[in-house]
A and B are shown apart, each in its own frame.
Chain A
Amino acid sequence: MYGLGVLKGLWVTIKNFTLSYFTRKRLTTVQYPEERITLSEHARTFPILVYDESPDKLRCVACEICAKECPPKCISIVRAQDEAGKPLKQPKFFDIDYSVCMNCGICEEVCPFDSIYMDRQFELSAYERSEEFLYTKDRLAKSAEYFSKIRPETAKKVEEKRKAKEK
């Protein structure tokens, strides 16, 4: 009937209006700085380097696989050497340019030493482009506890794998 659709439309809007005061379903906005949605297990932003006991004992052995696989080539690694000039199994420099990184997570997939993982920290705005987004080794280093906190399931699997390898 002509005119019935008009009333139906009015009913829909008034229903949405009144229910928005009672149910969350009718008011889906998340007011960001105060409220946050919980991120899923595999939410990812930028890479971090995981260490076990102290920040100078990184899991990273400076194999440079991640640097070679990185599509935008944002990782640059220099291997450390001892006094005799013999290469060591740790990086001297490990820089990631966050302004170049495209968050693909390939570095995480290819790392054979479970060292590099994607972080979920996304509030990284800065006033300067070249210096503040160039993350050096000490800024990238994050503890294993931090990693197991942000991604508990992945961390558990990784721990099991590493224990099996030690045996």
Chain B
Amino acid sequence: MRDVRRYPGARIFTALFFLWLYLPILVVIAYSFNENRLASVWTGFSLRWYESALHNRALLDAVQISLTVAGIATAIATTVALMAALVLVRGRDVRLRRLSETVVNLPLLLPEIVLAVAVLILFSQIGLQNGLLKLVIAHSAFCIPFAFLPIRARLQGMEPDFEEAAQDLYASPWVTFRRVTLPLIAPGVFAGAMLAFVISMDDFITSNLLNSGGSTTLPVYIFGLIKQGTTPELNAISTLIVLGSLILATTALVLTFRNPNRA
């Protein structure tokens, strides 16, 4: 009997769709092993562009700045988001609950370029000069909703029974949070932090507009390289970034969806 839920061609379509999704990334990886100085002329297999990328001082500086900004912004955004999620999901009779939820998610409601322009003007008005500090402030703000959503989802999916039991056994609110709530929502907190970190590492629009000497992040540096033209070294750098993202994404997913009963 024919399965009425199957659509002819839908599977082939999906296979082609996945091919389209991955082909561009595979092309970049393949071209990074090209020995020739011209990115579009293939002459042979070589790892020399990886070597030159790993010795590129400006690239390493950009990586360091990106990691610093993303690390601090993730810590701030995750802490703020965790506190807000605890109040909004667990708190009773919270005043302005709906409005507060909108406020936390505000950066998702506007195109990033508008937010970037807004902080640029703000920083120029208050005369803030430190490039790194500007990036940390802006990144912390727009990372908050990305940290908030997974934490809220985890809290909402969890019955408050364990927390109530702890309270009944005279645990203080802090001990309850530390010993009961936090271990239980840890995967959500971790997923939120990971998402915030990736969003910050990946940011181009805000970092580019706020860019000043000494605060060039990795995407802004790569943007500069692309404007100079495609080179095999650029392909090697891109491949390394792809590799880094895949490791990060896989770790995040494995840790998030690991069997909670074994944790």
Partners in one complex: no
